[in-house]
């Protein structure tokens, strides 16, 4: 049975014989989507994080593409860093990361953006900010590794963006 999934809204079909191939290799080699970064190769650093959604659910889930085989993404809608915003536009979290200069080398940034946006999307469905926003942010982006030590700035940018989201709602 053919593996079927979408990447950034475009449908793809893959022979099941390729089921063990890593998602990141398919993104890089077949689709030329190189914004998702390969780093540790075992899913620890999370630089390769993409967003996945299984219809009809409305809640995206972060997935580390370096250790996820294509067989595991059958039926999913995948969004990579290239697909989070229309060309030429930036998400509020991307703008916040730039404004606070959260990164130095930028290698980990796509993974942080994907996880932060999934977190913000979940907050957008909530009625109020979590009672302990800092713990919620830690759960969302805490496992991500930044070699340049940009953690405090990433956290501050995500906190500011989350608070601004609720200021708009209120």
User: What are the pLDDT digits (tens) for 50-71?
Assistant: 999 999 988 999 999 999 999 9
Supply the pLDDT for residue 63.
97
Segments of the chain scoring below 50 in pLDDT: none
Q: Supply the range of the domain harboring residue 10.
A: 3-83
Supply the pLDDT for residue 104.
85
| Residue the block writes with tokens 């980990």 | 108
H runs (alpha helix) in 100-169: 109-124, 133-141, 151-169
CATH of the domain at 148: 1.10.150.120
Supply the pLDDT for residue 78.
98
What distance in Å separates the CA atoms of residue 162 and residue 138, rounded to the nearest whole number? 13
Of 64, 83, 102, the last residue of a domain is 83
Q: Are 16 and 79 in the same domain? A: yes
Supply the pLDDT for residue 138.
95
CB atoms within 10 A of CB 100: 18
Nearest to 7 by CA among 46, 47, 69, 51: 51
- Exposure string for 41-78, b = 16+ CB within 10 A, e = fewer: eebebbbbbbbbbeeeeeebebbbbbbbbbeebbebbb
Which pTM was predicted?
Answer: 0.94
Q: To which H or E segment does residue 6 belong?
A: strand 3-7
Task: Give yes or no for a contact between 99 and 159, defined as CB atoms under 8 angstroms apart.
Answer: no
Q: Are 15 and 36 in the same domain? A: yes
What distance in Å separates the CA atoms of residue 91 and residue 160, rounded to the nearest whole number? 14
Q: Are 105 and 157 in the same domain? A: yes
Task: Give yes or no for a contact between 109 and 102, defined as CB atoms under 8 angstroms apart.
Answer: yes
Supply the pLDDT for residue 170.
65
Q: Are 29 and 100 in the same domain? A: no
């Amino acid at each position: 049975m053919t593996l079927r999934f979408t990447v950034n809204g475009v449908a793809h079909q893959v022979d099941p014989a390729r089921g063990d191939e890593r998602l990141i290799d398919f993104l890089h080699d077949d689709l030329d989507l190189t914004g998702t970064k390969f780093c540790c190769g075992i899913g620890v650093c999370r630089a390769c994080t993409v967003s996945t959604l299984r219809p009809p659910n409305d809640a995206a889930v972060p997935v580390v593409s370096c250790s996820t085989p294509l067989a595991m993404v059958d039926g999913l809608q995948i969004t990579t860093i290239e697909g989070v915003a229309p060309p030429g536009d930036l998400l509020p979290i991307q703008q916040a990361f730039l404004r606070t200069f959260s990164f130095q080398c930028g290698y980990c940034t796509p993974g942080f953006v994907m996880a932060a946006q999934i977190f913000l999307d979940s907050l957008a469905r909530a009625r109020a900010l979590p009672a302990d926003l800092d713990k919620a942010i830690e759960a969302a982006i805490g496992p991500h590794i930044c070699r340049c030590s940009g953690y405090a700035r990433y956290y501050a940018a995500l906190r500011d963006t989350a608070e601004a989201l609720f200021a708009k709602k209120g």
